[in-house]
């Protein structure tokens, strides 16, 4: 069974997702990692839309049911 769920964060676009019953409580107990990266500093500077899309993956993870406290964004190599 699939359902559509919409989440909205201030300043972001609503994310509509088809949620699968395959995501179960034992999955949600694990840490969700979102790895944001670009190959070069030039890409970091010029591919702002791509970087923003990658950061918004955390919205998707949250829509699948992970609490914000269990979502970690790894972006330390973008500096």
User: Of residues 25, 39, 40, 69, which has the active-site annotation?
Assistant: 39
**Can 39 be counted among the known catalytic residues?**
yes
Which of the 8 DSSP states describes residue 20? P
Number of H helices, E strands in the chain: 4, 4
Give the ranges where the chain is alpha helix by DSSP (H).
Answer: 25-28, 41-46, 48-55, 57-63
Q: Residue 50, Cα to own-chain centre: how many angstroms? A: 13
User: Which active-site residues does the annotation give?
Assistant: 39
């Amino acid at each position: 069974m699939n359902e559509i769920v919409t989440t909205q964060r201030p300043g972001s676009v609503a994310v509509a997702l088809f949620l699968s019953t395959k995501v179960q409580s034992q999955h949600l107990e694990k840490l969700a990692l979102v790895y944001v990266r670009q190959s070069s500093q030039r890409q970091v500077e010029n591919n702002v839309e791509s970087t923003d899309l990658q950061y918004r993956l955390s919205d998707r993870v949250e829509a699948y049911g992970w609490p914000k406290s269990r979502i970690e964004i790894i972006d330390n190599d973008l500096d």
